[in-house]
Structure 1
């Protein structure tokens, strides 16, 4: 069976929701875990990690008058997350560059644990206020899914190259937002999707 590629960024709430929806669909339909191949994408590749307070940064970005108004903008996302059993905790999110998290993704893919890793890192970021730019934190995530943290650290340069290859692949495919579902040589869906749409996609593979 051909794999479905899903381009995601760990800093993206829609990737958070769309990834979980797809994984729940795969489990419900008893599909092979490796039917999906997660692909790295960076919405903010130049994020400098200077100001890590998410709500302050988003208030500036949106031009809203205060944090309460900014929070209101996320009401729909929070409700969408709840519908698939997820929590989206605006008050604890740390706004940092996600590239190190994607290095961990590439490692987990090689080790056959990508789905576990994706869920753990999204939860770390959106539910627990964890710092996925911090390598020690990522090592703990990697160890929690039964993988070797030291092996991850010893391969960072090579994993960085794999992330860059995914970024170039996304550019070649015309991917400019996430989540984006790609198979059979074309973009099939952009957005969080539904079980009905996933059924159509997986039936076509």
Structure 2
């Protein structure tokens, strides 16, 4: 069973939603049969960070509110994150464009380390106040999940996975994604937002029940019949 998730590395609800989905998956009896695929989505693809600008000020500017209101919104988000065990450090978080980070996640997917790469980047941004828009730092973070440093640097410098990021974003437009996180189950059911684990668990059960492999028929009686080669007498 495939679950595809569109999210951005700097979307606070995306990290929270990841934890809630993971909790539901932990309690799902058929979790070993679930393939999770992460897709790129940039909330602000044209964002250009200003050196030294805080996340509070950056958010306030984006929302068109006073800086103290930006801080208040981030403090509220930190409280929500604590409910799922995440200690956001938004006072020190470094605003970044996530285009390169998404490319590293695609490289991670190429090596079977997509979820580990996604998790490492989110933790670096939200919990450790690391710059995820810097190539040198991204290469370092990649090595921490087992990616080769030279390959990571080459891929990020050459834009090897840039088109893959754009394709994810185009696909999101085609299926009507307007906000993230956005979860798609077996191309049939969608869940928008960081919903509660109980809802994710309910959807997992429903989708598995509909799409699980059907057992082979057991023949309980066999007698005379006709086939392409004639009839048995």
Assess same fold via TM > 0.5. yes
2:193 to 166, 191, 194: 191
Aligned runs of 1:67-106 on 2, under 5 Å? 67=68, 69-106=69-106
In the other structure, the counterpart of 1:17 is 16
Q: Who is 2:149 aligned against?
A: 149
How far is 1:33 from its partner?
8.3
Moved more, 33-42 or 90-99: 33-42
* Shift in alpha-carbon separation, 1:110–1:34, aligned structure 2, 3 A: farther
Question: TM-score with structure 2 length normalisation?
Answer: 0.80
* Aligned residue runs from structure 1 range 1-205, under 5 A: 1=1, 3-29=2-28, 31-32=31-32, 35-51=35-51, 52-67=53-68, 69-156=69-156, 157-186=159-188, 188-203=190-205, 204-205=207-208
C-alpha contact 1:143 1:149 (8 A) present in aligned 2? yes
Q: Which has the higher Rg, Structure 1 or Structure 2? A: 2
Contact 2:4 2:39 in 1 (8 A): yes
CA RMSD, aligned part only?
Answer: 1.9
Please state whether the residue corresponding to 1:32 is helix, strand or coil: helix
Instruction: Rate the CA distance shift 1:28–1:120 in 2: closer, same or farther, 3 A.
Output: farther
How far 1:187 sits from its partner (Å)?
A: 5.3
Distance 1:50 1:41 in 2: 22
Output the CA distance in 1 between the equivalents of 2:103 and 2:47.
16
CA distance in 2, matches of 1:108, 1:66: 36
Change (3 A) 1:27 1:148: farther
In structure 2, what is the Cα distance between the partners aligned to 1:178 and 1:110? 23
- The alpha carbon displacement at 1:87 in A equals 1.2
Moved more, 74-83 or 111-120: 74-83
Unpaired runs of at least 5, structure 1: none
Structure 1 CA distance, aligned partners of 2:83 and 2:96? 26
Contact kept in structure 2, 1:55 and 1:91, CA below 8 Å = yes
Name the CA shift for 1:173/1:91 in 2 (closer, same or farther; >3 Å). Answer: same
